[in-house]
Structure 1
Amino acid sequence: MSSNGRSRKALAIQFMKFNAVGLLNTAIDMILYTLLVWLGVHFAIAQVLSYGAGMANSYVLNSKFTFGGTGTSSASDKSGSLRMGARFVVWNGVILAVSILFLTLMTKLAGMNELYAKLIATAVTVAINFYGSKRWVFAGARAN
């Protein structure tokens, strides 16, 4: 197999891992969001809280499983890990803002149910999140 074919296969496997982790993150996010909305919490606040819970899970699993850190703990690794963590928070803040924008547009302007709007917003942000995670957040990590 050519190196181009191997790199496409590695990218496809990495994307599948990202989506497997994403399914778990989404389950955490959706369950908590649904519970909070059911309890009467405003959808934007519910989104921040539920997304934050999924985001914490995402960082741990994607940094270890999807984009594969080396597992060493030298001072330079710790510094790189802090940078990666900061980029993760910033990037996920952007994704959160995009999802809240979509939720607002769909619920307030289109009159859509909050849960259906959440499903659409989640579908839209998956590809954007993978691209940014791969190209910026975890760019220095060793791919498995």
Structure 2
Amino acid sequence: MTDGPAGRSLVSKMVRFGAVGVANSLIDLCIFSVLLWFGTAPLFANLLGWFGAVCFSYFANSRWSFERAGNLRQGRSFLRFFTLGAIITLGVSSGAIVALGGLIGILPAKITGLVVAAVISFLAARWSIEDRVL
């Protein structure tokens, strides 16, 4: 499965996106955990962890996982990525913290939210960087 004559295969993009996703999750969880340890409110710690991870994610995915569409300027690409990241990953992880935090604990709830959001995020990242849906 390839996207075009000069492009990486879809499988390669998925593997690369997954590797970046693991690094993102570690960045997000580290920032989140450290902030919790210092007594930061869970949802604010989630916001700051997400922000650090989404900045790294865009940088890594736009240079290594995907090929940015020539007709899509960097600023617009980042805005798409950031906006979708806010809706998907920040929304899902915050929702998981609120819905599950009291039942399973804050950190397990955060991890659950990250896993759920990862699946949707691949398509969103591909659209925001490559201007493709599938």
- Using structure 1 for the length normalisation, give the TM-score: 0.80
Give the corresponding residue for 2:84. 91
Alignment of 1:51-66 (within 5 A): 51-66=50-65
Q: Report the AA paired with residue 74 of structure 2.
A: S
Identity %: 25
Q: Which runs of 4+ in 1 moved over 2 A?
A: none
RMSD: 2.1
Of 115, 131, 138, the residue aligned with 2:129 is 138
Runs of 5+ in structure 2 lacking a partner? Answer: none
Q: Give the Cα separation in 2 of the matches to 1:69 and 1:133.
A: 10
- Structure 2 residue 93 is matched with structure 1 residue 102: no
Q: Secondary structure at the match of 1:40?
A: coil
Give the corresponding residue for 2:114. 122
Determine if contact 2:93/2:112 at 8 Å carries over to the other structure: no
Q: Give the Cα separation in 2 of the matches to 1:26 and 1:131.
A: 17
Query: How many correspondences in the alignment?
Result: 127
Q: Give the Cα separation in 1 of the matches to 2:131 and 2:98.
A: 35
Q: CA deviation at 1:102?
A: 1.6
Indicate the structure (1 or 2) with the bigger Cα radius of gyration. 1
Q: Give the Cα separation in 1 of the matches to 2:87 and 2:2.
A: 32
Q: Secondary structure at the match of 2:104?
A: coil
Q: Give the Cα separation in 2 of the matches to 1:54 and 1:122.
A: 11
Runs of 5+ in structure 1 lacking a partner? Answer: 71-75
Q: Secondary structure at the match of 2:39?
A: coil
Q: Report the AA paired with residue 112 of structure 2.
A: I
Higher relative contact order, structure no. (Cα contacts within 8 Å, ≥ 6 residues apart): 1
